[in-house]
Amino acid sequence: MELMKQTIAYNFGIEIDTVILTTFEGFQAIIDAVGGVDVENPYEVYDADYPTPDRQTTEIYFAAGPLHLDGRDALIFCRTRHMDGDDGRVMRQQLVLRALLDKMRDPAMLGQLPQLAGAFQDAVRTDLSLAQMLSIAALIPEFSNDNVAFGSILPYLYPSTAPDGAWIYAADWSTMPGFVQGFLDGSIS
Protein backbone atom coordinates (compact mmCIF):
# COMPACT_ATOMS: atom_id res chain seq x y z
CA MET A 1 0.00 0.00 0.00
CA GLU A 2 2.78 2.38 0.87
CA LEU A 3 4.54 1.76 -2.45
CA MET A 4 1.31 2.50 -4.34
CA LYS A 5 0.92 5.79 -2.46
CA GLN A 6 4.53 6.69 -3.27
CA THR A 7 4.07 5.76 -6.94
CA ILE A 8 0.98 7.98 -7.31
CA ALA A 9 2.71 10.84 -5.51
CA TYR A 10 5.82 10.48 -7.66
CA ASN A 11 3.99 10.23 -10.99
CA PHE A 12 1.07 12.60 -10.43
CA GLY A 13 2.06 14.83 -7.51
CA ILE A 14 -1.01 13.67 -5.58
CA GLU A 15 -0.84 12.60 -1.96
CA ILE A 16 -3.07 9.59 -1.27
CA ASP A 17 -4.73 9.57 2.16
CA THR A 18 -5.71 5.94 2.30
CA VAL A 19 -5.78 2.76 0.26
CA ILE A 20 -8.26 -0.09 -0.03
CA LEU A 21 -7.06 -3.15 -1.94
CA THR A 22 -8.73 -6.36 -3.00
CA THR A 23 -7.82 -9.40 -5.04
CA PHE A 24 -9.82 -11.17 -7.73
CA GLU A 25 -11.04 -13.57 -5.05
CA GLY A 26 -11.87 -10.69 -2.72
CA PHE A 27 -13.84 -8.93 -5.47
CA GLN A 28 -15.88 -12.07 -6.08
CA ALA A 29 -16.49 -12.47 -2.34
CA ILE A 30 -17.76 -8.89 -2.05
CA ILE A 31 -20.19 -9.31 -4.95
CA ASP A 32 -21.38 -12.67 -3.59
CA ALA A 33 -21.80 -11.26 -0.06
CA VAL A 34 -24.39 -8.77 -1.34
CA GLY A 35 -26.21 -11.38 -3.41
CA GLY A 36 -24.82 -10.29 -6.76
CA VAL A 37 -25.39 -7.12 -8.75
CA ASP A 38 -27.70 -6.08 -11.56
CA VAL A 39 -26.27 -4.23 -14.56
CA GLU A 40 -27.61 -3.05 -17.89
CA ASN A 41 -25.13 -4.39 -20.45
CA PRO A 42 -25.15 -1.98 -23.43
CA TYR A 43 -24.08 -4.61 -25.99
CA GLU A 44 -23.27 -8.29 -26.36
CA VAL A 45 -19.87 -9.26 -24.99
CA TYR A 46 -18.11 -12.28 -26.44
CA ASP A 47 -14.60 -13.58 -25.85
CA ALA A 48 -13.46 -16.85 -27.41
CA ASP A 49 -10.17 -16.80 -25.47
CA TYR A 50 -10.93 -15.58 -21.96
CA PRO A 51 -7.97 -16.55 -19.73
CA THR A 52 -8.68 -19.00 -16.90
CA PRO A 53 -6.77 -19.27 -13.60
CA ASP A 54 -5.04 -22.46 -14.83
CA ARG A 55 -3.52 -20.55 -17.78
CA GLN A 56 -5.98 -22.03 -20.26
CA THR A 57 -8.79 -20.19 -22.06
CA THR A 58 -12.54 -20.51 -22.19
CA GLU A 59 -15.35 -18.98 -24.21
CA ILE A 60 -17.54 -16.38 -22.47
CA TYR A 61 -20.68 -14.53 -23.53
CA PHE A 62 -22.86 -11.87 -21.91
CA ALA A 63 -26.08 -10.86 -23.66
CA ALA A 64 -27.01 -7.23 -24.15
CA GLY A 65 -29.60 -5.96 -21.68
CA PRO A 66 -30.20 -6.59 -18.00
CA LEU A 67 -27.82 -9.03 -16.30
CA HIS A 68 -27.65 -10.37 -12.78
CA LEU A 69 -24.02 -11.15 -11.99
CA ASP A 70 -22.68 -13.27 -9.16
CA GLY A 71 -19.08 -12.78 -8.04
CA ARG A 72 -17.54 -15.12 -10.61
CA ASP A 73 -19.46 -13.66 -13.54
CA ALA A 74 -18.92 -10.08 -12.35
CA LEU A 75 -15.16 -10.66 -12.34
CA ILE A 76 -15.24 -12.14 -15.84
CA PHE A 77 -17.50 -9.30 -17.06
CA CYS A 78 -15.06 -6.74 -15.60
CA ARG A 79 -11.88 -8.37 -16.89
CA THR A 80 -12.62 -9.37 -20.47
CA ARG A 81 -11.18 -7.02 -23.07
CA HIS A 82 -10.43 -9.04 -26.21
CA MET A 83 -13.58 -7.87 -27.98
CA ASP A 84 -13.49 -4.15 -27.19
CA GLY A 85 -10.17 -3.32 -25.54
CA ASP A 86 -9.44 -1.42 -22.37
CA ASP A 87 -12.19 1.14 -23.01
CA GLY A 88 -14.84 -1.60 -22.93
CA ARG A 89 -13.30 -3.24 -19.90
CA VAL A 90 -13.20 0.07 -17.98
CA MET A 91 -16.84 0.77 -18.92
CA ARG A 92 -17.91 -2.65 -17.58
CA GLN A 93 -15.93 -2.14 -14.37
CA GLN A 94 -17.74 1.14 -13.83
CA LEU A 95 -21.13 -0.50 -14.47
CA VAL A 96 -20.39 -3.12 -11.80
CA LEU A 97 -19.09 -0.57 -9.26
CA ARG A 98 -22.19 1.59 -9.77
CA ALA A 99 -24.41 -1.48 -9.38
CA LEU A 100 -22.58 -2.39 -6.17
CA LEU A 101 -23.18 1.10 -4.78
CA ASP A 102 -26.86 0.88 -5.71
CA LYS A 103 -27.08 -2.52 -4.03
CA MET A 104 -25.38 -1.27 -0.84
CA ARG A 105 -27.83 1.65 -0.62
CA ASP A 106 -30.81 -0.70 -0.63
CA PRO A 107 -32.47 -0.53 2.83
CA ALA A 108 -32.42 -4.34 3.04
CA MET A 109 -28.63 -4.30 2.62
CA LEU A 110 -28.14 -1.52 5.16
CA GLY A 111 -29.68 -3.78 7.80
CA GLN A 112 -27.08 -6.42 6.98
CA LEU A 113 -24.05 -4.15 7.36
CA PRO A 114 -22.66 -5.93 10.44
CA GLN A 115 -22.68 -9.29 8.63
CA LEU A 116 -21.34 -7.74 5.43
CA ALA A 117 -18.53 -6.04 7.33
CA GLY A 118 -17.19 -9.45 8.31
CA ALA A 119 -17.29 -10.69 4.71
CA PHE A 120 -15.70 -7.49 3.43
CA GLN A 121 -13.00 -7.55 6.11
CA ASP A 122 -11.65 -10.81 4.70
CA ALA A 123 -11.88 -9.51 1.13
CA VAL A 124 -9.93 -6.25 1.46
CA ARG A 125 -6.74 -4.84 2.88
CA THR A 126 -6.69 -1.22 3.95
CA ASP A 127 -4.83 1.29 6.05
CA LEU A 128 -8.15 2.71 7.32
CA SER A 129 -8.75 2.26 11.02
CA LEU A 130 -11.79 0.35 12.23
CA ALA A 131 -13.36 3.65 13.35
CA GLN A 132 -12.82 5.15 9.89
CA MET A 133 -14.35 2.11 8.20
CA LEU A 134 -17.40 2.28 10.45
CA SER A 135 -17.78 6.01 9.76
CA ILE A 136 -17.72 5.37 6.02
CA ALA A 137 -20.21 2.52 6.35
CA ALA A 138 -22.58 4.82 8.24
CA LEU A 139 -22.44 7.26 5.31
CA ILE A 140 -23.50 4.72 2.66
CA PRO A 141 -27.11 6.00 2.54
CA GLU A 142 -25.72 9.44 1.65
CA PHE A 143 -23.73 8.17 -1.35
CA SER A 144 -25.37 7.96 -4.76
CA ASN A 145 -24.25 7.41 -8.31
CA ASP A 146 -25.35 10.99 -9.02
CA ASN A 147 -22.23 12.26 -7.27
CA VAL A 148 -19.78 9.59 -8.44
CA ALA A 149 -17.44 10.54 -11.25
CA PHE A 150 -15.07 8.28 -13.11
CA GLY A 151 -12.18 9.51 -15.16
CA SER A 152 -9.97 7.79 -17.66
CA ILE A 153 -6.46 8.61 -18.75
CA LEU A 154 -6.73 6.27 -21.77
CA PRO A 155 -7.18 9.18 -24.24
CA TYR A 156 -3.84 10.54 -23.01
CA LEU A 157 -1.93 7.28 -23.42
CA TYR A 158 -0.31 5.70 -26.44
CA PRO A 159 0.91 2.18 -27.17
CA SER A 160 4.60 1.57 -26.59
CA THR A 161 7.08 -1.14 -25.74
CA ALA A 162 8.98 -1.60 -22.48
CA PRO A 163 12.74 -2.21 -22.54
CA ASP A 164 12.07 -5.94 -22.10
CA GLY A 165 9.79 -5.99 -25.17
CA ALA A 166 6.47 -6.09 -23.31
CA TRP A 167 3.59 -4.05 -24.73
CA ILE A 168 2.70 -1.11 -22.46
CA TYR A 169 0.86 2.17 -22.42
CA ALA A 170 3.05 5.26 -22.28
CA ALA A 171 2.18 8.91 -21.67
CA ASP A 172 3.51 12.41 -22.01
CA TRP A 173 4.53 12.87 -18.38
CA SER A 174 4.91 16.62 -18.82
CA THR A 175 1.10 16.87 -19.15
CA MET A 176 -0.29 13.78 -17.40
CA PRO A 177 -0.01 15.01 -13.77
CA GLY A 178 -1.81 18.25 -14.69
CA PHE A 179 -4.65 16.32 -16.32
CA VAL A 180 -5.11 14.09 -13.28
CA GLN A 181 -5.03 17.05 -10.89
CA GLY A 182 -7.51 18.93 -13.10
CA PHE A 183 -9.92 15.98 -12.98
CA LEU A 184 -9.60 15.77 -9.19
CA ASP A 185 -10.12 19.49 -8.60
CA GLY A 186 -13.04 19.65 -11.07
CA SER A 187 -11.46 21.94 -13.65
CA ILE A 188 -11.51 19.06 -16.18
CA SER A 189 -14.65 16.96 -16.43
The model's pLDDT over 52-110, given as tens digits with 9 standing for 90+, comes to 989 999 999 999 999 999 999 999 999 999 999 888 999 999 999 999 999 988 888 87
pLDDT-derived band at 29, boundaries 50, 70, 90: very high
Residue 14: predicted pLDDT: 86
Q: Kindly state whether residue 83 falls inside one of the protein's structural domains.
A: yes
Q: Kindly state whether residue 141 falls inside one of the protein's structural domains.
A: yes
More confident residue, 45 or 137: 45
Q: Kindly state whether residue 180 falls inside one of the protein's structural domains.
A: no
Q: Kindly state whether residue 172 falls inside one of the protein's structural domains.
A: no
More confident residue, 27 or 143: 27
Residue 45 has pLDDT above 90, yes or no: yes
- Helix or strand holding residue 45 (H, E): strand 45-51
Query: What integer is the mean pLDDT of 160-179?
Result: 88
Q: How many C-beta atoms lie closer than 10 Å to residue 146's C-beta?
A: 5
User: Which among 36, 8, 27, 184 is positioned nearest to 109, based on CA atoms?
Assistant: 36
Q: Kindly state whether residue 185 falls inside one of the protein's structural domains.
A: no
Q: Kindly state whether residue 124 falls inside one of the protein's structural domains.
A: yes
Residue 155: predicted pLDDT: 80
- Helix or strand holding residue 164 (H, E): none
The domain total for the chain is 1
Q: Is 98 exposed, middle or buried (0-12, 13-18, 19+ CB in 10 A)?
A: middle
Pairing of strands 37-41, 65-69: antiparallel
- pTM: predicted TM-score of the whole model, two decimal places: 0.85
- Output the CA torsion 63→73→67→19 (10° steps): -130
Containing domain of residue 128, as a range?
22-149
Residue 114 has pLDDT above 80, yes or no: no
Residue 102: predicted pLDDT: 93
Q: Kindly state whether residue 108 falls inside one of the protein's structural domains.
A: yes
Residue 140: predicted pLDDT: 85
Residue 91 belongs to domain with CATH number: 3.40.630.190
Q: Kindly state whether residue 76 falls inside one of the protein's structural domains.
A: yes
